[in-house]
């Protein structure tokens, strides 16, 4: 059997660097519950394994060390409503899931922001 | 005029009005076209023929954009840095983007005619392909012909019973009731008592347990029909609508050799106008001209500028919304209003065409509730002994599409094989090599296609399509047929038609 050859540009981190196991949800909505699992199976598609974002003809903004995450309201809004080309991925998540993933990105990838948001606050923003 | 074109055969289902006539002298005016996908290529071709000086900037090192086929020897680097080398055998390909052309996409079909792109039928509906649910019939797939015939038969029987009990007397006249019963017998293959039952008559539609043959022992055997409740609870009936939709009705087409043949044919016409590896960073306009700033991605650092009298910008909104574009607020708001769909396609090469040899599936699509959603069998080279490439996954939005995008290319193929095994146990034994394209990781689109909501359309669509000073936008995102190539073509023709009018009227 011949195998597909996978090369990786040496200067770039490999996609899938986040440790959480890849998941395929049984339905149309995300079944992942923890912030880590949601990040690595949803957000990582564009924002990449270490929150570093990516650049092609346009960019996916880095979430790593991103001061825009200082208040929870902003990432909550973006996840719920989408922004420019970013789809409103939060429509495929419960309020609890949105809170979990928002809290995750605000406390990982070099971010250390509090206090955590709650499902109730997400519900208000939805 | 319209009637004349209709009588000439240009009955414009898609809104295509026949070959565009840009009459009047543009007097040496220049146009800068941004993006060499189908919208940009069609614009460049027509504008040059009308007498414009045309320049095209393209981000990729090839033209065609999402009109694209991956063939053996090609390599593709996605955002995140993973590079896949396509190792398909000669003649085999994956169309990562568009892969089928409805018969009523007249604009695209006309360009195929003009550019000499040979088409062949694309099999959308194959009655012998499968409908599958991991949660129904013990995970065993069912042939489409069985589900379709049995579902139609059972529902016809139910309706006939209701009619016979007089429960529709208030809704249907006596004369119509008689014809209705007769039609239900025809439509549902019911017996003379209006019952749907297993037998050689229903087998003529749903297929046999053993097909009629020749010589001794060749008598056909009818199979059991699938019970109504089993069909209803299986949800397999959902798959039937995939074939009924107008955009999927027969006859559909594909270019011989891969969808990318269309972009390649355009490139033969206008390739000399294209500057490749150009990453646009700014689009400015003044009273008299448009100036575009771009970087050569093969020589990072240096920026270049090019100016023209007019600009046709076909850059996807996912990217354009990040570029400094000098247009008015209404168009800026429109550019920022369209999310881009998630989609993943995976091509799998197998040592032999087991779907044909073992299962008599020649083209068409099997639908499943597994994350891969569908398996499409090649619509070409039927009944040959060679290898074949299946479309082993095609997602559109939903959690699975994001999840597959988040995986490495190798993980995607592993998952596609795991899923496909549940429908075709031959998968692992026959698999050779595969390649995946997750559209949110595509460097040149950052997504699959414009995913308009009705609200966004009401608020922004007209503002997106208006000419703003010297700039007009085009592409599938500026159409009511998003994600279809016809949308890109029609939008480009409409844009340059309006632009030309403005130019010749001074």
**Do the chains contact at B81 and A59, CB–CB below 8 Å?**
no
Closest residue to A6, CB basis, from B84, B279, B442? B84
pLDDT in tens, B219-262: 999 999 999 999 999 999 999 988 899 999 999 999 999 999 99
Q: Which of residues 213-242 of B touch A (CB under 8 A)?
A: none
Quote the pLDDT of residue B263: 98
Task: Kindly indicate the confidence band of residue B1, based on its pLDDT and cuts at 50, 70 and 90.
Answer: very low
Quote the pLDDT of residue B302: 87
Quote the pLDDT of residue B300: 86
Task: Kindly indicate the confidence band of residue A82, based on its pLDDT and cuts at 50, 70 and 90.
Answer: very high
**Do the chains contact at A6 and B321, CB–CB below 8 Å?**
no
Quote the pLDDT of residue B2: 44
**Do the chains contact at A8 and B402, CB–CB below 8 Å?**
no
| Rounded Cα–Cα distance for residues A45 and A101 (Å) | 14
DSSP for B184-225?
HHHHHT--TTS----SHHHHHHH-EEE---SSTT---EEPPP
Residue A106, C-beta contacts closer than 8 angstroms, at least 6 positions apart: A69, A72, A75, A113, A114, A116
Closest residue to A87, CB basis, from B319, B339, B407? B339
Residues of B in contact with A8 (CB under 8 A): 81-83
Q: Look at B302 and B78; give whichever has higher pLDDT.
A: B78
A 10 A CB-CB count for B144 gives 24
Name the percent of chain B lying above pLDDT 70: 97
Q: Where in chain B is the domain with CATH 1.20.1440.240?
A: 144-226
Task: Kindly indicate the confidence band of residue B278, based on its pLDDT and cuts at 50, 70 and 90.
Answer: very high
Architecture of domain B70-128+250-258+341-441: Alpha-Beta Complex (3.90)
Which domains are present in chain A? 35-125 (1.10.760.10)
In A1-126, the DSSP E strands lie at 5-8, 54-55, 59-60
Q: Which of residues 97-126 of A touch B (CB under 8 A)?
A: none
Length of chain A as a residue count: 126
**B84 part of contact set with chain A, CB < 8 Å:** yes
Query: Which token pair is B296?
Result: 């050569």
**Do the chains contact at B443 and A12, CB–CB below 8 Å?**
no
**B453 part of contact set with chain A, CB < 8 Å:** no
Mean pLDDT of chain A: 88
Quote the pLDDT of residue A21: 79
Task: Kindly indicate the confidence band of residue B208, based on its pLDDT and cuts at 50, 70 and 90.
Answer: very high
A 10 A CB-CB count for A27 gives 11
**Do the chains contact at A24 and B323, CB–CB below 8 Å?**
no
Nearest residue on chain B to A9, alpha-carbon basis: B81
Query: Is domain B144-226 annotated with CATH 1.20.1440.240?
Result: yes
Give the gap in angstroms from C-alpha B432 to the nearest C-alpha of chain A.
6
Average pLDDT over residues B76-102: 98
**Do the chains contact at A58 and B319, CB–CB below 8 Å?**
yes
The string over B489-505, giving b where at least 16 C-beta atoms fall within 10 Å of a residue's C-beta and e elsewhere, is: bbbbbbbbeebbeebee
Give the gap in angstroms from C-alpha A38 to the nearest C-alpha of chain B.
9
Give the gap in angstroms from C-alpha A25 to the nearest C-alpha of chain B.
6
Q: Where in chain B is the domain with CATH 3.90.660.10?
A: 70-128+250-258+341-441
Nearest residue on chain B to A60, alpha-carbon basis: B446
Q: Where in chain B is the domain with CATH 3.50.50.60?
A: 2-62+260-337+449-504
Give the gap in angstroms from C-alpha B114 to the nearest C-alpha of chain A.
31
Residue B5 host element (H or E): helix B2-7
pLDDT in tens, B130-151: 999 999 999 999 999 999 999 9
Residues of A in contact with B339 (CB under 8 A): 82, 84-88
Quote the pLDDT of residue A19: 54
Contact B483, B449 (CB under 8 A): yes
Average pLDDT over residues B319-343: 98
Closest residue to A23, CB basis, from B403, B440, B451? B403
Angstrom distances, CA of residue B418 to CA of A57, B365, B412, B483, B494 = 34, 18, 10, 29, 46
Contact B323, B282 (CB under 8 A): yes
| DSSP helix/strand/coil, A111 | coil
Class of domain B2-62+260-337+449-504 as given by CATH: alpha beta
Closest residue to A56, CB basis, from B82, B438, B446? B446
DSSP for B7-71?
HTT---TTS--SS----S--TT-EEEEE--BHHHHHHHHHHHHTT-EEEEE-SSSSSBTTS--EE
pLDDT in tens, B24-68: 999 999 999 999 999 999 999 999 999 999 999 999 999 999 999
Give the gap in angstroms from C-alpha B464 to the nearest C-alpha of chain A.
14
| Rounded Cα–Cα distance for residues B22 and B497 (Å) | 7
Task: Kindly indicate the confidence band of residue B356, based on its pLDDT and cuts at 50, 70 and 90.
Answer: very high
**B280 part of contact set with chain A, CB < 8 Å:** yes
Quote the pLDDT of residue B15: 85
| Rounded Cα–Cα distance for residues B93 and B96 (Å) | 9
Nearest residue on chain A to B80, alpha-carbon basis: A15
Comparing C-alpha atoms, which of B341, B346, B373, B322 is closest to residue B440?
Answer: B341
Quote the pLDDT of residue B348: 99
């Amino acid at each position: 059997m011949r195998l597909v050859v996978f090369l990786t540009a040496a200067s770039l981190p490999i996609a899938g660097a986040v440790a959480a196991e890849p998941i395929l949800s049984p339905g149309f909505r995300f079944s992942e519950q923890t912030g880590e699992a949601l990040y690595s199976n949803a957000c990582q598609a564009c924002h990449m394994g270490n929150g570093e974002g990516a650049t092609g003809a346009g960019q996916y903004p880095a979430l790593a060390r991103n001061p825009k995450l200082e208040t929870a309201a902003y990432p909550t809004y973006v996840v719920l409503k989408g922004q420019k080309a970013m789809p409103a991925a939060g429509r495929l998540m419960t309020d609890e899931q949105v809170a979990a993933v928002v809290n995750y990105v605000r406390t990982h990838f070099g971010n250390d922001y509090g206090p955590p948001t709650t499902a109730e606050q997400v519900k208000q923003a939805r | 005029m319209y009637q004349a074109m209709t009588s000439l055969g240009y009955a414009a289902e898609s809104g295509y009005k026949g070959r565009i006539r840009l009459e009047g002298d543009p007097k040496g005016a220049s146009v800068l076209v941004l993006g060499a996908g189908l919208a940009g290529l069609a614009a460049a071709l027509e504008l040059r023929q009308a007498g414009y000086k045309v320049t095209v900037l393209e981000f990729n090192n090839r033209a065609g954009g999402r009109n694209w086929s991956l063939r053996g020897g090609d390599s593709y680097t996605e955002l995140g840095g993973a590079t896949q080398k396509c190792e398909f055998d000669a003649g085999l390909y994956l169309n990562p983007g568009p892969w089928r052309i409805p018969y009523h996409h007249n604009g695209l079909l006309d360009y195929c005619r003009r550019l000499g792109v040979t088409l062949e039928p694309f099999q959308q509906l194959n009655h012998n392909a499968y409908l599958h649910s991991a949660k129904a019939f013990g995970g065993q797939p069912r042939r489409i012909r069985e589900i379709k015939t049995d579902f139609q038969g059972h529902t016809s029987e139910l309706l006939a019973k209701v009619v016979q009990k007089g429960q529709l007397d208030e809704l249907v006249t006596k004369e119509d009731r008689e014809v209705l019963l007769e039609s239900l017998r025809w439509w549902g293959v019911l017996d003379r008592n209006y019952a749907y039952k297993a037998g050689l008559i229903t087998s003529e539609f749903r297929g046999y347990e053993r097909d009629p043959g020749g010589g001794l022992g060749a008598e056909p055997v009818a199979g059991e029909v699938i019970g109504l409740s089993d069909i209803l609870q299986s949800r397999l009936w959902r798959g039937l609508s995939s074939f009924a939709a107008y955009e999927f009705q027969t006859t559909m087409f594909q270019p011989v050799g891969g969808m990318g043949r269309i972009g390649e044919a355009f490139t033969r016409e206008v390739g000399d106008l294209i500057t490749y590896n150009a990453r646009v960073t700014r689009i400015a306009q003044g009273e008299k001209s448009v100036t575009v700033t771009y970087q050569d991605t093969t020589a990072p650092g240096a920026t270049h500028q090019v100016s023209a009298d007019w600009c046709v910008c076909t850059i996807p909104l996912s990217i354009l919304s990040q570029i400094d574009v000098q247009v008015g607020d209404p168009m800026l708001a429109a550019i920022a209003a369209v999310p881009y769909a998630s989609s993943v396609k995976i091509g799998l090469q197998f040592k032999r065409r087991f779907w044909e040899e073992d299962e008599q599936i020649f083209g068409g699509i099997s639908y499943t509730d597994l994350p891969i959603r569908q398996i499409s069998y090649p619509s070409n080279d039927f009944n040959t002994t060679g290898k074949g490439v299946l479309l082993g996954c095609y997602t559109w939005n939903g959690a699975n599409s994001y999840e597959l995008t988040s995986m490495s290319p190798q993980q995607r193929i592993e998952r596609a094989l795991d899923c496909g095994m549940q429908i075709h146990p031959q998968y692992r034994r026959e698999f050779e090599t595969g390649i995946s394209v997750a559209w949110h990781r595509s460097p040149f689109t950052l997504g699959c296609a414009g995913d308009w909501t009705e609200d966004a359309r009401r608020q922004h669509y007209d503002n997106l399509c208006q000419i703003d000073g010297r700039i007009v936008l085009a592409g599938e995102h500026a159409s009511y047929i998003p994600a279809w190539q016809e949308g890109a073509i029609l939008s480009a023709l409409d844009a340059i038609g309006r632009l030309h009018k403005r130019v010749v009227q001074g």
